[in-house]
Amino acid sequence: MEMIRRQKIYEIVANKIKEKIKNGELKPGDKLETVEQMAKSYGVGRSAIREALTTLRGMGLIEMKQGEGTFVKEYDYSHFIPSKDSLLLLDKKELRDLFEVRKILETSTAFIAAQNRNKDDLTLIKNALDKMTTAVDNEEQVERADVEFHLAIAEATHNSFLIELMHHISDALFSTMRESRRFWQSSEKLTLQRLYLEHESIYHAIVDQNSELAKEIMQSHLEKVKGGLHSMEKDEQ
């Protein structure tokens, strides 16, 4: 029988503070209560508070300033993913690896966006979709509208982590779209009309708040992108 580990008091306190940071109750720059005040607020000893703060500092969520107090930090994603400049230097194999991350990220993003979207979100997604048709004769503008469409879906999740990650990889996302579309055009596997219809289907699933369908269509769409990138690699070998 699997044993369930009991949380230590300082872990419970750390999780409560972390949740306040996550939901925006505590914002970057906010000063936390003193150790004594928090001990009273949470009904625990001061040693548990100190351990909790040490844990949160190790996560990069707070910083302790000598003589001033403890403050919430701006969350730094750069420890986990490459810089935008380095993303632009990725080779074909690395772009394919990035695409795998993109597929995991965007199928979930479409699913969550369908649940959480509001009228303003739908307007932004539709605007990006419309740009894809009006810019049909300008390849770069179509690509930018394509990226804008996917970023607008990320915004519709109202999940700060997903939004930040999607914006961070947007330049590399632009590169994968450009390369894969060039292959599609040369092989006539995907016309701009088909590309638009796929995006339109994703949009309508989000409008209908059909999470499963939005995820399914997004996955199907991205599988075609993967096929284009894979074929390009084979042609270059």
pLDDT band at 187 (very low <50, low <70, confident <90, very high): very low
Q: At 134, which amino acid appears?
A: T
Please determine, for residue 114, whether its predicted confidence score (pLDDT) is greater than 90. Answer: yes
Please determine, for residue 21, whether its predicted confidence score (pLDDT) is greater than 80. Answer: yes
Per mean pLDDT, which of 10-19, 87-96, 120-129, 154-163 is the most reliable? 120-129
In the chain, % of residues over pLDDT 90: 40
Two tokens, residue 170: 């947007």
Please determine, for residue 201, whether its predicted confidence score (pLDDT) is greater than 50. Answer: yes
Query: CA of 44: how far to CAs of 21, 36, 143, 165, 199, in Å?
Result: 20, 10, 55, 36, 53
Residues whose CB falls within 8 Å of the CB of residue 25, separated by 6 or more in sequence, listed in order = none
**What distance in Å separates the CA atoms of residue 152 and residue 121, rounded to the nearest whole number?**
7
Look over the chain and give the mean of its residue pLDDT values, rounded to a whole number: 79
**What distance in Å separates the CA atoms of residue 155 and residue 174, rounded to the nearest whole number?**
17
Q: At 217, which amino acid appears?
A: I
Please determine, for residue 74, whether its predicted confidence score (pLDDT) is greater than 90. Answer: no
Return the bridge partners of 191, or none: none
Q: Rounded mean pLDDT of 114-137? A: 89
**What distance in Å separates the CA atoms of residue 144 and residue 173, rounded to the nearest whole number?**
10
Q: Rounded mean pLDDT of 139-161? A: 86
Question: Which DSSP symbol is given to 77?
Answer: G
Q: Rounded mean pLDDT of 147-158? A: 93
Strands in the chain per DSSP E:
62-65, 69-72
More confident residue, 2 or 206: 206
pLDDT in tens, 26-68: 988 999 999 999 999 999 999 999 999 998 888 788 998 888 9
Domains in the chain: ranges and CATH: 9-75 (1.10.10.10), 79-236 (1.20.120.530)
Report pTM.
0.60
